[in-house]
């Protein structure tokens, strides 16, 4: 029954050919660093499957692929042969751009010639060969031909598989023999303690499966002046936007690679270090290291793990970023290790003008999205150590809170009833100005201004929104509220309400979330009595109260507001 089904699959796949080679898709099943091994494996696959081809992959690697097919048919071939167990489970679909010179079948060139149309009546299944494996004596003779690196590689593979726990020295002593025997037993081989050529290949294929599965191969980017091993089965070059060469995901795995290349000095390197940490591809959690002329960044969060390294040499900054989906750590580690070990600086550096004609956006840096908080609100300094008063809304559901983007802060007091929160920076700050609360109630129809980051920090500084005091209570007569006749924006919530002399009359509250629709020029502030009571309950000392004085000129009022108002960021 199995042979009948195999024959059916062969007859079906024999008809799945594209019209043109440049439109072809392939199912890559294996890759080997040895041409001889790749030829042997191609021959074995050809004994039981149709359309077997072998191509150079670059970097001394050789791949075995089935095809050519159209992409839908390649996906079908992949699915059925995996189900049958005819090809490894980590096989994947690639296009012709992954392949170099063809080595199997000898003399063939499937990349440039049209695939022949095989007739159904002419196709016949090929018998599956079952060649005998080496004897223990033959296995020992083959083992003696291994060099030191190959012997160590076998120990590394045994260790990765969980069978070997000793040093990687290339010496096949008692520990290594026991590990080989255990591996053989676990894989259904006779436990001789000496691996045959076929078993050594199976062990190394097993170890290299994570690399093979993503098409790991040598890649050179001449414009960036960088060469390294890259997962070219999972990424493809898309664009240059200095200082990055972008390689975006080609499949569902979601892997991305950035090559970093730019001229510069240590100040440029440090600037890049700071900029990278503002990008979505570098999540907030993870170690950071900057040392002299190099830095590394690792970020974990939002479903990804990213790693960045960059180094300054001879006036050129070069490095890379690998972005990988979370939950695939073993494969990510293998790929990252290969990328770091193979990274090579070549002549030349990416033109700083590369990508200058790309679409511009304040939310993008060199084609990469800038990380944004899930919510941005306003606050104001209430003491000389940088303690901040803000709206309770600004700190709800946050995993991280920042002041002015860069300074982490924590909640030290929260009164959801009053809608107030007190934040303390993790490192003491020295604000340019500190809020001074105005004693007593303001006069009705008095002129006021709200200082806030109306547009979530896009403008880089707070703005003033002017209005008047409409009432000294809420719409239902609530005490502790001041009704204002002004039209703020959501980002203004938490900002100080100032009178024309610069005294603080209250804190602007967000629009109520009860679904009630109010006119645009109706807003509310927590008055100074509520603020004092909340701060006293929390044990927070406030600055002395504002003294009555002459109205401030508009420029002086703006400077005072700028000095005391702070952007509060709530991050996921």
- Domain 2-122 CATH (choose: 3.30.70.1070, 3.30.830.10, 3.40.50.150, 1.10.3430.10): 3.30.70.1070
| Class of CATH domain 136-213 | mainly alpha
Q: Which strand ranges, in their side-by-side order, compose the sheet holding 304-313? A: 235-241, 244-249, 256-263, 316-325, 304-313, 294-301, 288-291
Band (pLDDT 50/70/90 cuts) for residue 84 is confident
Structure tokens at 507: 């804190």
Q: How many helices (H) and strands (E) does the chain have?
A: 11, 29
Q: How far is CA 307 from CA 115, 399, 533, in A?
A: 42, 22, 48
Burial of 433 (0-12, 13-18, 19+ CB in 10 A): middle
Give per-residue pLDDT as tens, 430-489: 899 999 998 888 999 999 999 999 887 777 789 999 999 999 988 888 898 999 999 999
What sign for the dihedral angle of Cα 319, 325, 331, 333?
Answer: positive
Q: What is the CATH number of domain 375-571?
A: 2.40.10.120
pLDDT over 50 (residue 17): no
Phi, psi of 483, rounded to the nearest 5 degrees? -90, 130
Mean model confidence pLDDT for the chain: 85
Give per-residue pLDDT as tens, 40-51: 898 889 888 888
Residue 101: the pLDDT is: 85
Residue 353: the pLDDT is: 86
* Identical fold between 216-369 and 375-571: no
Band (pLDDT 50/70/90 cuts) for residue 131 is low
pLDDT over 80 (residue 548): no
Q: How far is CA 450 from the centre of its chain?
A: 39
Residue 229: the pLDDT is: 95
Residue 85: the pLDDT is: 81
Helix H or strand E segment including 325: strand 316-325
Give per-residue pLDDT as tens, 347-384: 999 998 876 666 655 455 766 777 678 889 999 999 98
What's the mean pLDDT in 271-295? Answer: 90
Better pLDDT: 416 or 37: 416
What's the mean pLDDT in 219-237? Answer: 94
Better pLDDT: 314 or 571: 314
CA distance 539 to 420: 14
DSSP letter string over 480-537? Answer: TEEEEE----GGGTTPEEEETTS-EEEEEPPPPSSS----TTEEEEEEHHHHHHHHHH
What's the mean pLDDT in 70-79? Answer: 85
What's the mean pLDDT in 310-324? Answer: 96
Per domain, the residue ranges of the chain are 2-122, 136-213, 216-369, 375-571
Q: How far is CA 206 from CA 187, 298, 423, in A?
A: 11, 28, 53
Give per-residue pLDDT as tens, 510-519: 987 665 677 8
Lowest mean pLDDT among 53-62, 193-202, 554-563: 53-62
Asked whether 31 and 217 are in contact (CB, 8 A), the reply is yes
Structure tokens at 222: 């001449």
Better pLDDT: 461 or 246: 246
Fold for 216-369, please state it: Protein Transport Mog1p; Chain A (3.40.1000)
pLDDT over 80 (residue 102): yes
């Amino acid at each position: 029954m199995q042979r009948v089904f195999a024959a059916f699959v062969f007859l079906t796949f024999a008809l799945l050919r594209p019209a043109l080679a440049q439109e072809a898709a392939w199912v890559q099943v294996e890759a080997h660093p040895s041409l001889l091994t790749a030829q042997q494996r191609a021959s074995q696959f050809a004994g039981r499957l149709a359309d077997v081809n072998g191509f150079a992959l670059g970097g001394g690697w050789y791949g075995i692929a089935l095809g050519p097919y159209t992409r839908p048919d390649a996906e079908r071939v992949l699915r059925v042969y995996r189900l049958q167990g005819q090809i490894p489970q980590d096989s994947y679909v690639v296009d012709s751009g992954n392949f170099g010179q063809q080595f199997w079948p000898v003399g063939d060139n499937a990349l440039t010639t049209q695939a022949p149309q095989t007739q159904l009546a002419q196709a016949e299944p090929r018998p599956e060969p079952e060649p005998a494996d080496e004897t223990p004596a033959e296995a020992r003779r083959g083992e003696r031909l291994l060099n030191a690196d190959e012997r160590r590689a076998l120990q590394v593979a045994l260790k990765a598989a969980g069978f070997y726990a000793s040093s990687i020295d290339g010496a096949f002593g008692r520990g290594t023999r026991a590990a080989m025997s255990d591996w053989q037993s676990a894989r259904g081989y006779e436990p001789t303690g000496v691996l045959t050529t076929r078993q050594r290949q199976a062990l190394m294929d097993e170890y290299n499966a994570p690399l093979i599965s993503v098409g790991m191969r040598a890649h050179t980017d001449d414009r960036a002046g960088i060469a390294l091993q890259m997962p070219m089965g999972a990424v493809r070059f898309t664009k240059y936007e200095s200082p990055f060469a972008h390689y975006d995901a080609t499949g569902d795995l979601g892997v991305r690679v950035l090559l970093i290349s730019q001229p510069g000095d240590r100040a440029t390197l440090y600037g890049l270090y700071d900029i990278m940490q503002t990008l979505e591809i570098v999540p907030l959690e993870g170690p950071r290291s900057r040392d002299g002329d190099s830095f590394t960044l690792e970020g974990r969060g939002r479903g990804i793990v990213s790693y960045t390294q960059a180094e300054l040499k001879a006036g050129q900054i070069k490095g890379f970023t690998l972005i990988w989906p979370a939950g695939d750590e073993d494969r990510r580690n293998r790929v990252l290790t290969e990328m770091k070990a193979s990274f090579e600086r070549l002549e030349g550096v990416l033109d700083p003008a590369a990508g200058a004609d790309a679409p511009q956006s304040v939310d993008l840096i060199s084609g990469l999205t800038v990380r944004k908080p899930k919510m941005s609100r306003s606050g104001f300094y209430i003491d000389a150590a940088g303690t901040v008063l803000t709206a309770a809304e600004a700190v709800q559901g946050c995993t991280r809170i920042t002041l002015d983007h860069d300074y982490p802060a924590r909640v030290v007091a929260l009164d959801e009833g009053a809608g107030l929160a007190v934040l303390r920076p993790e490192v003491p700050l020295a604000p340019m100005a500190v809020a001074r609360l105005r004693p007593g109630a303001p006069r009705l129809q008095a002129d006021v201004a709200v200082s806030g980051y109306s547009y979530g920090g896009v403008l880089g500084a707070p703005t003033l929104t002017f209005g008047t005091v409409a009432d000294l209570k809420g719409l239902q007569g609530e005490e502790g509220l001041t009704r204002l006749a002004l039209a703020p924006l959501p980002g203004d919530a938490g900002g100080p309400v100032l009178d024309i002399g610069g005294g603080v009359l209250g804190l602007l509250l967000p629009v109520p979330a009860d679904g009630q629709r109010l006119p645009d020029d109706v807003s509310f502030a927590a008055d100074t009595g509520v603020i004092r009571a909340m701060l006293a309950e929390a044990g927070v000392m406030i600055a002395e109260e504002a003294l009555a004085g002459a109205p401030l000129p508009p420029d002086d009022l703006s400077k005072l507001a700028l000095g005391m108002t702070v952007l509060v960021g709530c991050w996921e």
